[in-house]
Amino acid sequence: MPCLGKNVMAGVNAIACANMALAGFDKVIPLDETIDSMYKVGQMLPSDLRCTGKGGLSVTPTGIKIFEKLN
Protein backbone atom coordinates (compact mmCIF):
# COMPACT_ATOMS: atom_id res chain seq x y z
CA MET A 1 0.00 0.00 0.00
CA PRO A 2 2.67 2.62 0.81
CA CYS A 3 4.07 2.30 -2.71
CA LEU A 4 0.70 3.06 -4.29
CA GLY A 5 1.07 6.80 -3.80
CA LYS A 6 4.62 6.74 -5.14
CA ASN A 7 3.52 4.75 -8.19
CA VAL A 8 0.71 7.21 -8.93
CA MET A 9 3.10 10.14 -8.66
CA ALA A 10 5.65 8.34 -10.84
CA GLY A 11 2.98 7.78 -13.49
CA VAL A 12 2.06 11.46 -13.48
CA ASN A 13 5.74 12.36 -13.66
CA ALA A 14 6.21 10.00 -16.61
CA ILE A 15 3.40 11.71 -18.51
CA ALA A 16 4.89 15.13 -17.78
CA CYS A 17 8.33 13.93 -18.93
CA ALA A 18 6.85 12.48 -22.12
CA ASN A 19 5.16 15.81 -22.84
CA MET A 20 8.45 17.63 -22.28
CA ALA A 21 10.28 15.25 -24.62
CA LEU A 22 7.63 15.65 -27.33
CA ALA A 23 7.86 19.43 -26.95
CA GLY A 24 11.60 19.34 -27.63
CA PHE A 25 12.80 20.05 -24.08
CA ASP A 26 16.59 20.39 -24.10
CA LYS A 27 17.97 18.16 -21.35
CA VAL A 28 21.08 19.32 -19.54
CA ILE A 29 22.43 15.89 -18.54
CA PRO A 30 22.13 12.96 -20.98
CA LEU A 31 19.72 10.15 -20.05
CA ASP A 32 22.48 7.50 -19.79
CA GLU A 33 24.40 9.62 -17.28
CA THR A 34 21.22 10.25 -15.28
CA ILE A 35 20.41 6.53 -15.13
CA ASP A 36 23.98 5.67 -14.08
CA SER A 37 23.90 8.31 -11.36
CA MET A 38 20.53 7.17 -9.99
CA TYR A 39 21.74 3.55 -9.97
CA LYS A 40 24.82 4.55 -7.96
CA VAL A 41 22.67 6.48 -5.46
CA GLY A 42 20.37 3.47 -5.11
CA GLN A 43 23.34 1.21 -4.42
CA MET A 44 24.47 3.55 -1.63
CA LEU A 45 21.15 3.21 0.19
CA PRO A 46 20.92 0.51 2.84
CA SER A 47 18.93 -2.44 1.49
CA ASP A 48 16.15 -1.85 4.04
CA LEU A 49 15.42 1.51 2.41
CA ARG A 50 15.09 0.24 -1.16
CA CYS A 51 11.32 -0.37 -1.11
CA THR A 52 11.86 -3.97 -0.05
CA GLY A 53 9.19 -4.11 2.63
CA LYS A 54 11.91 -4.28 5.30
CA GLY A 55 11.71 -0.63 6.35
CA GLY A 56 9.64 2.51 6.33
CA LEU A 57 5.85 2.20 6.52
CA SER A 58 6.05 -1.55 5.90
CA VAL A 59 7.29 -2.17 9.44
CA THR A 60 4.75 -0.01 11.27
CA PRO A 61 2.14 -1.87 13.34
CA THR A 62 -0.51 -1.13 10.69
CA GLY A 63 1.82 -2.15 7.87
CA ILE A 64 2.49 -5.47 9.59
CA LYS A 65 -1.25 -6.07 10.11
CA ILE A 66 -1.90 -5.44 6.41
CA PHE A 67 0.91 -7.82 5.48
CA GLU A 68 -0.48 -10.54 7.76
CA LYS A 69 -4.00 -10.04 6.40
CA LEU A 70 -2.78 -10.37 2.79
CA ASN A 71 -0.75 -13.47 3.57
| pLDDT reported for residue 49 | 79
Q: Looking at residues 8-22, what average pLDDT do you find? A: 92
In order of 10, 21, 40, 58, 65, the CA distances from 1 in angstroms are 15, 31, 26, 9, 12
The model's confidence at residue 1, banded by pLDDT at 50, 70 and 90, is low
pLDDT tens, residue by residue, 30-61: 889 999 999 999 899 888 877 778 888 888 99
| pLDDT reported for residue 44 | 93
| pLDDT reported for residue 34 | 92
| pLDDT reported for residue 54 | 83
